[in-house]
Amino acid sequence: MNVLMIEDNESVSEMMSMFFENEGYEATFHQDGAEGYEAYKSNPTKWDIVILDLNLPSMDGMQICHNIRKISKETPIIMLTARDSESDQVIGLEIGADDYVTKPFSPITLLARMKALHRRAQVTPTQEAEVETASEFDVETEIIHINTSTREAYYKDNPIENLTPKEFDLLVAFTEHPKRVFSREDLLTSLWEDPFFGDERTVDAHIKKLRQKIEQVGPQIIQTVWGVGYKYEAPGEE
């Protein structure tokens, strides 16, 4: 894995450098936001993943993430955020980050999240062939229609646009099991790495963004079951 880490805390970078080296990863570190973004911009296809702190000199992490997404929708991005900064987490996901890790963090946690994102970003020739031959929809309810090979989702005839990989996976899980109540632990176990190292509130942040994108095309279908979790239940469906 070729890693670009933009982080202004030198001790954090030094710590991760040792872990990356132990994993056999090639890693490049930048403490200045603008310099880190220029490193990405100069050769976008070089990087397998970007680790991005929010608070950086010259250019902050939000702006860097936004700029990267103008160049590539595919490069996995993990944002590093403060422990209780839910608004930063949601905004980061909204502008294109694939995941976030809260500070202070365990290097093992970050590595596990990186590996999970990197696996999902890989598309083999066999998978590409499956996309070409796949039937139109393989997950359907009366309202939602999903092609898991092309990773397209529709609310009736309207596309649900700009879903991140995690948001799409969540929608599939709910749609495949209408009215089943999923706890955060259920979703983390099935859609994140197992065991999960991190804050389970990442589920809430992803579902919040998924709901916002659904509401752009129709009434809400992801319902909260207070004290338990979430479920798919569409208005008018039996």
| CATH 3.40.50.2300, applies to 2-122 | yes
Task: Please determine whether the domains at 2-122 and 139-232 fall in the same fold group of CATH.
Answer: no
DSSP-derived letter for residue 181 is: P
For the chain, which residues make up each domain, given as ranges? 2-122, 139-232
* Tens digits of residue pLDDT in 144-199: 999 988 888 999 888 998 888 889 999 999 999 999 999 998 998 888 866 666 67
Residue 44 confidence class, pLDDT cut points 50, 70, 90: very high
Question: What is the edge-to-edge ordering of all strands in the sheet holding 77-82?
Answer: 26-30, 2-6, 49-53, 77-82, 99-103
pLDDT of 200 > 50? The answer is: yes
* Per-residue DSSP letter, 176: H
Q: What totals of helices (H) and strands (E) does the chain contain, helices first?
A: 9, 11
CATH topology of domain 139-232: Arc Repressor Mutant, subunit A (1.10.10)
How far apart (Å, rounded) are the C-alpha atoms in residues 30 and 224?
41
Structure tokens at 59: 């250019």
